[in-house]
A and B are shown apart, each in its own frame.
Chain A
Amino acid sequence: MSHHIVEVEDLHYNYPGGTVGLNGVSFRITHGESVALVGANGAGKSTLLLHLNGYLVATRGQVRIGDYPLTRKNLKIVRRSVGMVFQDPDDQLFMPTVFDDVAFGPLNLGLAEAEVELNVMQALETVGVPHLRERPPYKLSGGEKRSVAIATVLAMSPDILVMDEPSSSLDPKSRRRLIGLLKTFHHTKIIATHDLDMALDLCERTIVLHRGKLTADGPTLELFQDEDLLARSGLEKPLKMQGCPICGKKGEEQTPLPDSKTCSGNRLTG
């Protein structure tokens, strides 16, 4: 369906001081795709994301969400379609309780109280935290905050989910839970991340940004095997694609180990 398409055409953006933020970025994401946005710090990932819901206005170029080119008039409609989850959950949880936060969106959309209640509980159950309903946000753990932040966006039933560094500062278990959760979403997903392993798990397509320019756009696995590209863009391979953590074995290469031990199947023996 056309309203799930995200299209960016020759996007240019300059920061207030004059520095170039985006330098001619173009791509097209279709319904249901899962796209990772990767790049070094300062490459322009967050800047690009902020164009997708009209918070930043491009100096040149155009953004289309579904049928609508992004203009001041249809901002509200677009913001309902594009659900954005930010890096710091404390910025997104500003109401007295979890329920209030998740209900914020639906209430602003003008839904009736009964419907709001339904949406909120559904969203909380989807992310697995219905029991946190009456909790004030400062009493949540990092992982719980993350989940609730996602719920605040889900409650508005967006078509497109945009996330900025969703796995940052999560402990391994919470991170694994998050990846599992995101895998169940059928929305179009655009995820800016440094966590290349998560990108590998979650997204079949990857866009690489470097200094405001789009340097690659293609299947994730392919891109992550291009060591040249990764090095140029200030990245390296996902950890699970790097050599054996114990002996450093890459393919057939074998490095001698101290004390005549050997390594087989990622385990030290002998």
Chain B
Amino acid sequence: MTKIGNHFFDIGYMDTLASGDSPLHRLDPRVKLITTLAFIVTVVSFDKYALSELIPFFIFPIFQISLGGLPTGYLLRKVLMISPFAALIAIFNPLMDREILLQIGSISVSGGWVSFFSILTRFLLTVTAALLLIAATGFNTVCTALARLGVPRPFVVQLMFLYRYIFVLTDEASRMVRAISLRSFHSGGMSFKTFVPMMGHLLLRTLDRAQRIHLAMLCRGFDGRICIVRSMKIGYNEVVFAIGWSVLFVILRCYNIPKMLGALVIGFFG
């Protein structure tokens, strides 16, 4: 009936990972954010048949996992869990695009399949990058980094509040759903007739809660502006990290390293 128990990325666990200590964790969040964005933009900028060019980009997530001491198995499982959805969308391409593009020995590969795998690879790379950003930095810290980088404050504050109360609301909702399911005796989902009052009550309670939170804020002197104190410092490590990776991304974007490597190896043996 609900997906609440099946969090793909176990939001709470991300915060646990983010509270670890490693050279990666200690980097300024703004730098991690910008580098990840540069990564995603570069990966996405390839055209639809790019495949071997994308492979070297895996060095970025691999590096982060190692440097940050993050659990590989857990992350891999999470990403693989959602890859069927990407595959579902990308599967149209092999069906539509039959033009032969590659020839490996006697196997001919259509353009559609190349773009299919290209889509999947891109998906893997970008999703992993976002995941690692949160795992090594924490959602709230990423938000404060966004604010420092110029994202409008009302939106950033909204992100943080939303994040804070997602746990509370999903808890309340799942308790209500459980109570209802314990009193329903037919199989299959919730009926519309039950759904509406349940949502209605949840909404009313939510509005009441908003009022109480507002009261609590007023009692502590709230006047419209939320202040968050975070010390952030750009140091030598940060500059090296940002510039180093950016340069690498540009190089990898312009040169097809795997092809050059492969040509070298084949030329050597052939």
Listed in ascending order, the chain A residues whose CB lies under 8 Å from chain B are: 50, 53, 55, 76, 79-80, 82-84, 86, 88, 90-92, 94-97, 100, 103-105, 107-109, 113, 116, 134, 136-139, 152-153, 156
B228 touches A96 (CB 8 A): yes
B227 touches A107 (CB 8 A): yes
CB closest chain-B residue, reference A76: B221
B219 touches A53 (CB 8 A): yes
Q: How far is the CA of A177 from the CA of B213 in the complex (A)?
A: 26
Q: Known contacts A86-B215, A104-B217, A105-B221; can you find 4 more A-B pairs with CB under 8 A? A: A79-B219, A79-B221, A92-B213, A95-B228
Return B166 CB to nearest CB of chain A, in Å: 9
Q: What are 25 of the A-B contact pairs (CB < 8 Å)?
A: A50-B215, A79-B221, A83-B219, A86-B212, A91-B212, A92-B216, A94-B161, A95-B164, A95-B228, A96-B140, A96-B160, A96-B228, A97-B140, A100-B228, A103-B229, A104-B217, A104-B227, A105-B221, A107-B227, A108-B222, A134-B19, A136-B140, A138-B164, A139-B12, A153-B219
Which residues from B are CB-within-8-Å of A113? 229
**Interface residue SS majority, chain A:** helix
Mask, B218-231, CB within 8 Å of A = 1, is 11111100011100
Using A108-B227, A113-B229 as known contacts, say yes or no to A94 and B219 having CB atoms under 8 A apart: no
Q: How far is the CA of A88 from the CA of B209 in the complex (A)?
A: 10
B229 touches A116 (CB 8 A): yes
Q: How far is the CA of A86 from the CA of B209 in the complex (A)?
A: 12
B213 touches A91 (CB 8 A): yes
Using A107-B227, A108-B223 as known contacts, say yes or no to A94 and B218 having CB atoms under 8 A apart: no
Which residues from B are CB-within-8-Å of A138? 12, 164, 167-168
Q: How far is the CA of A53 from the CA of B209 in the complex (A)?
A: 19
B218 touches A79 (CB 8 A): yes
CB closest chain-A residue, reference B167: A138
Which residues from B are CB-within-8-Å of A104? 217, 220, 222, 227
- Interface residues in B7-29 by Cβ distance below 8 A to A read 12, 15, 19
B220 touches A152 (CB 8 A): yes
A91 touches B209 (CB 8 A): yes
Listed in ascending order, the chain B residues whose CB lies under 8 Å from chain A are: 12, 15, 19, 140, 143, 160-161, 163-165, 167-168, 209, 212-213, 215-223, 227-229
Which residue among A88, A90, A105 has the maximum number of chain B CB atoms within 10 Å of its CB?
A: A90
Return B84 CB to nearest CB of chain A, in Å: 30
CB closest chain-A residue, reference B225: A108
Which residue among B19, B213, B216, B223 has the maximum number of chain A CB atoms within 10 Å of its CB?
A: B216
B160 touches A153 (CB 8 A): no
Which residues from B are CB-within-8-Å of A55? 215, 218-219
Which residues from B are CB-within-8-Å of A116? 229
Using A94-B164, A113-B229, A116-B229 as known contacts, say yes or no to A139 and B218 having CB atoms under 8 A apart: no
Return B143 CB to nearest CB of chain A, in Å: 8
Q: How far is the CA of A79 from the CA of B140 in the complex (A)?
A: 29
CB closest chain-B residue, reference A116: B229
Using A91-B212, A96-B140, A139-B15 as known contacts, say yes or no to A153 and B220 having CB atoms under 8 A apart: yes
Q: How far is the CA of A95 from the CA of B164 in the complex (A)?
A: 7
Please pick, from A79, A94, A103, the residue contacting B213 in the complex, using a CB distance under 8 A.
Answer: A94
CB closest chain-B residue, reference A120: B229
Which residues from B are CB-within-8-Å of A139? 12, 15
Which residues from A are CB-within-8-Å of B160? 95-96
Which residues from B are CB-within-8-Å of A97? 140
Which residues from A are CB-within-8-Å of B213? 91-92, 94
A108 touches B164 (CB 8 A): no
Which residue among A103, A105, A138 has the maximum number of chain B CB atoms within 10 Å of its CB?
A: A138
Return A139 CB to nearest CB of chain B, in Å: 7
Q: How far is the CA of A105 from the CA of B216 in the complex (A)?
A: 10
CB closest chain-A residue, reference B166: A138
Top 4 nearest A-B pairs (CB, nearest first) are A108-B221, A96-B140, A105-B220, A138-B167
Which residues from B are CB-within-8-Å of A86? 212, 215-216
